[in-house]
Chains A and B, each alone.
Chain A
Amino acid sequence: MSVATEATTHVIRPVSRSRAFWRSPIGRLVKKVPFYTLVVLIFVYCLFPFFWALRCAFTPESDLFSTPLQYVPEHPTLDNFRQAFQAEFFRRGLLNSAIVAGGVTLLSLAIGTLAAFALGRFRFRGRSFVMYLMLSMTMFPSIAILGALYTMISGFSLGPIDLPNIYDTLWSLLFTYLIFTLPFTIWVLTSFMEALPGDLEEAAYVDGATPFQVFYKVLLPLILPGLVTTGLLAFISAWNEYLFALSFIQDPDKYTVPLAITSFVGESGSSFQQPWGTIMAATIIVTVPLVALVLVFQRYILAGLTAGAVKG
């Protein structure tokens, strides 16, 4: 570029006015306008529904759909948040979702790191079979086994062991959610384990460490970023799950967040008169921590998502 401009300055040649303009500092700024317009458009597109939910959450119920529509609430209020927290199933929902999502995350990490240790640090026959099994499980449509799980959780016997009826309890979610968190956890953690240098454990083994010591003293600290990534992704997917929760839970005391969010009814009790202000306040309450989490751990999450998708 610079070579080209120097060459043109030596040759005496009338430079057209428009060309001179585009090279001036103002011209360069103007040239970027279409680009930044696109950036702003993307920004607005991504955030507008979130902004709108915020607007609704702070607008009194009576003003929500007033004509002309208020784009910024004229009488901002916290009433909607108060209403949302007054609903017991919503408060319970937050707690239940925290229990289920937290439990599933811990279980997947515990089982997943052991499996990833085996798959990522040992070469053995059947390894690639297990890897393919886990990969195909990550794409497994949970609707395909809904009926079987539905009958299984209402009590069934596995040979001599009789399993209790866990229908309409949080246990049913805790177990079934593993189907989409665990294979993914294993797949990503294995790629983290494999990426560690090959002779890492050797010194520890020479010093007489057992494989288990190597595992939790040498390898586990090194794949901590992987644990954060997969833990977050498992937590988010369990927090957001709807199909199983809708099918296995009936008692409002056991609702998870997605069930609670869709259960607000207006004073009249009709489903056509939805209390949008309260719903949007609840929406903001459950989304803000999640969005904060995602923004703080942005780098980790992106690494996990691309490891899961691009390598797959």
Chain B
Amino acid sequence: MSTAATPAPAPRRRRRTTKLKRRQTRLAWVLLVPALAVVVFVAIYPLGKTIYQSFTDQEFLALEPAQWVGLQNYRDLLDDSIFRDAVWTTLKFTLITVAFEFALGLAIALVVNSRFRGRGVMRAVMLVPWAIPTVVAAQMWKSMLQSNGVISDAGTRLGILAHPHAWIADPATSLAAICAVDIWKTAPFVALLLLAGLQVIPGDLYEAAEVDGANALQQFWKITLPLLAPAIFVTLVFRTLDALRVFDVFYVFFGNRLGTQSMAIYAQSTIVGDGYVGYGAAISMAIFLVIALFVVVYVTFQRVVLR
């Protein structure tokens, strides 16, 4: 690479270049050895091991060695109503949070994108929810969502609520309560990502639109949205993948209470709580497949619609 600029390479020189290149290649791989070793050791090997375990009846610290059971775990999974509930809960959670985080995030980004005093402060403020550990954020909201907590109190004072409500204990509102935490923690972060996308849109496009008499709404649909599409796409993909593997908020709110488990909660409680490593591995693989399915859908969508 470094010698590419030198003019008219003599034959001898060229041989030296390839030798240099070979040396560089070797050096590059040597430098990559620790990183690749880590990736193999903590990701690829465990993934293979999980796939293998999902076909066995392995239990944690079992006395007898694990037996190969073929597809039995997966067959059980299809009849497992707890798992079905967990998938359903997780899908609902994902749909609600991603939709709200995107809508709210875009709105916040558009507001903060205009030039005003205190814009820097606002950007800093928007980083705060993101920086707070999820477990801590969940604890904060858990206390706020108690029936005698501040949300019920403020709601009744403002006349929005007729009477105090136990948001987490009531099954009708528990999912909404959990979504509220995730949306609070992530919508400002989504806004920051979209803000970065907004700031690379050249300002003269809007000036030209202004001259042509386009109103604000037209400018939004014809300029902002199409040019923001790549940033939106990446943000949606990241958020969806994150939401599908949600664990922390659910655990802090419900532990592993039945009926309010996410897929990750069910996998973790099966593996660690019950010690059924084999069956838990099958659940893990199912989660992996659901996530992979979403990736495929998104990528296909991107190929078809955005290109």
Chain B min CB distance to A194 (Å): 12
Known contacts A42-B122, A240-B135, A243-B268: A199-B111 contact under CB 8 Å: no
Question: Nearest 6 pairs between A and B by C-beta?
Answer: A148-B46, A115-B35, A148-B49, A240-B133, A145-B46, A118-B31
Interfacial residues of chain A within 114-138, with CB under 8 A of chain B in the complex: 114-115, 117-119, 122-127, 130, 133-134, 137
- CB-nearest residue of chain A to B183: A45
B149-172: CB near A (< 8 Å → 1, else 0) gives 110010000000000000000000
Q: Once bound together, how far apart are the Cα atoms of A294 and B167, in whole Å?
A: 31
A15 at the interface (CB under 8 A from B): no
- CB-nearest residue of chain A to B138: A262
B246-280: CB near A (< 8 Å → 1, else 0) gives 01100110000000000110011001100001001
Known contacts A69-B153, A186-B35, A247-B271: A148-B127 contact under CB 8 Å: no
Residues of A within 8 A of B77 (CB): none
A144 at the interface (CB under 8 A from B): yes
Interfacial residues of chain B within 113-157, with CB under 8 A of chain A in the complex: 114, 116, 118, 122-137, 139-141, 143-144, 146, 148-150, 153
A42 engages B108 (CB within 8 Å): yes
B281 engages A148 (CB within 8 Å): yes
A309 engages B140 (CB within 8 Å): no
Known contacts A146-B271, A286-B136: A243-B127 contact under CB 8 Å: no
Residues of B within 8 A of A114 (CB): 31-32, 34-35
A39 engages B118 (CB within 8 Å): yes
B291 at the interface (CB under 8 A from A): yes
A67 at the interface (CB under 8 A from B): yes
B31 engages A115 (CB within 8 Å): yes
B18 at the interface (CB under 8 A from A): no
| Inter-chain pairs besides A39-B112, A52-B144, A179-B43, 5 sampled, C-beta below 8 Å | A68-B153, A243-B268, A246-B272, A279-B139, A310-B234
A111 engages B35 (CB within 8 Å): yes
Residues of B within 8 A of A65 (CB): 146, 148-149
A144 engages B285 (CB within 8 Å): yes
Q: Once bound together, how far apart are the Cα atoms of A137 and B41, in whole Å?
A: 13
Known contacts A176-B42, A243-B248: A46-B188 contact under CB 8 Å: yes
A302 at the interface (CB under 8 A from B): yes
Chain A min CB distance to B166 (Å): 12
A201 engages B135 (CB within 8 Å): no
User: Which of A18-26, A77-85, A150-158 lines the interface with chain B?
Assistant: A150-158
User: Which of B7-15, B20-28, B94-102, B217-225 lines the interface with chain A?
Assistant: B20-28
**Which one, B127, B132, B277, contacts A150 given CB within 8 A?**
B277
A33 at the interface (CB under 8 A from B): no
B241 at the interface (CB under 8 A from A): yes
Interfacial residues of chain A within 272-312, with CB under 8 A of chain B in the complex: 274, 276, 279-280, 283, 286-287, 290-291, 293-295, 298, 301-302, 305-306, 309-310, 312
- CB-nearest residue of chain B to A107: B38
Chain B min CB distance to A163 (Å): 10
Interfacial residues of chain A within 89-114, with CB under 8 A of chain B in the complex: 111-112, 114
Q: Once bound together, how far apart are the Cα atoms of A279 and B137, in whole Å?
A: 12
Q: Once bound together, how far apart are the Cα atoms of A52 and B139, in whole Å?
A: 11
A35 engages B60 (CB within 8 Å): no
B175 at the interface (CB under 8 A from A): no
Q: Once bound together, how far apart are the Cα atoms of A143 and B90, in whole Å?
A: 14
Chain A min CB distance to B305 (Å): 19
B140 engages A144 (CB within 8 Å): no
A29 at the interface (CB under 8 A from B): no
A178 engages B124 (CB within 8 Å): no
Q: Once bound together, how far apart are the Cα atoms of A180 and B181, in whole Å?
A: 23
B78 at the interface (CB under 8 A from A): no
B192 engages A242 (CB within 8 Å): no
Known contacts A117-B31, A262-B135, A298-B127: A130-B248 contact under CB 8 Å: no
Residues of A within 8 A of B153 (CB): 68-69
